[in-house]
Amino acid sequence: MEENLKETATRLKIDNDQLKLLGDSLHHQANHDPLRGLPNRKQFYEGLSQAIEWANVNE
Protein backbone atom coordinates (compact mmCIF):
# COMPACT_ATOMS: atom_id res chain seq x y z
CA MET A 1 0.00 0.00 0.00
CA GLU A 2 2.82 2.42 0.85
CA GLU A 3 4.36 1.76 -2.56
CA ASN A 4 1.04 2.64 -4.23
CA LEU A 5 0.92 5.91 -2.33
CA LYS A 6 4.47 6.79 -3.38
CA GLU A 7 3.70 5.91 -7.00
CA THR A 8 0.50 7.96 -6.94
CA ALA A 9 2.30 10.92 -5.37
CA THR A 10 5.00 10.72 -8.05
CA ARG A 11 2.39 10.63 -10.82
CA LEU A 12 0.54 13.60 -9.34
CA LYS A 13 3.76 15.61 -9.14
CA ILE A 14 4.57 14.79 -12.76
CA ASP A 15 1.03 15.71 -13.83
CA ASN A 16 1.26 18.96 -11.87
CA ASP A 17 4.63 19.79 -13.46
CA GLN A 18 3.22 19.05 -16.91
CA LEU A 19 0.20 21.26 -16.24
CA LYS A 20 2.51 24.10 -15.17
CA LEU A 21 4.58 23.75 -18.34
CA LEU A 22 1.46 23.64 -20.51
CA GLY A 23 0.03 26.69 -18.75
CA ASP A 24 3.25 28.63 -19.24
CA SER A 25 3.35 27.61 -22.90
CA LEU A 26 -0.28 28.61 -23.42
CA HIS A 27 0.30 31.99 -21.78
CA HIS A 28 3.32 32.59 -24.01
CA GLN A 29 1.39 31.60 -27.14
CA ALA A 30 -1.49 33.90 -26.20
CA ASN A 31 0.78 36.89 -25.63
CA HIS A 32 3.49 36.54 -28.27
CA ASP A 33 3.71 36.56 -32.04
CA PRO A 34 4.13 32.97 -33.25
CA LEU A 35 6.52 33.89 -36.07
CA ARG A 36 9.00 36.12 -34.26
CA GLY A 37 8.24 35.36 -30.61
CA LEU A 38 7.88 39.06 -29.84
CA PRO A 39 5.21 40.36 -27.47
CA ASN A 40 1.93 40.96 -29.30
CA ARG A 41 -0.30 44.02 -29.25
CA LYS A 42 -2.02 42.96 -26.01
CA GLN A 43 1.32 42.66 -24.22
CA PHE A 44 2.48 45.95 -25.71
CA TYR A 45 -0.58 47.85 -24.50
CA GLU A 46 -0.39 46.29 -21.04
CA GLY A 47 3.27 47.30 -20.74
CA LEU A 48 2.54 50.78 -22.09
CA SER A 49 -0.32 51.22 -19.63
CA GLN A 50 1.90 50.17 -16.73
CA ALA A 51 4.67 52.51 -17.86
CA ILE A 52 2.28 55.45 -18.10
CA GLU A 53 0.82 54.66 -14.69
CA TRP A 54 4.31 54.38 -13.19
CA ALA A 55 5.32 57.70 -14.80
CA ASN A 56 2.22 59.43 -13.41
CA VAL A 57 2.84 58.11 -9.91
CA ASN A 58 6.53 59.09 -9.97
CA GLU A 59 6.15 62.65 -11.22
pLDDT at residue 24 in the model:
94
3-state helix, strand, coil in the chain (%, to 5): 80, 5, 15
Which region, left, alpha or beta, applies to residue 37 given φ > 0 means left and ψ of -120 to 50 means alpha? left
- pTM higher than 0.85: no
pLDDT of residue 56: 95
Q: What distance in Å separates the CA atoms of residue 54 and residue 59, rounded to the nearest whole number?
A: 9
Question: What digits encode the pLDDT tens for the residues 2-52?
Answer: 778 778 778 878 788 888 998 999 999 988 988 998 889 888 899 999 999
CA distance 56 to 35: 34
Beta carbons of 43 and 35 less than 8 angstroms apart: no
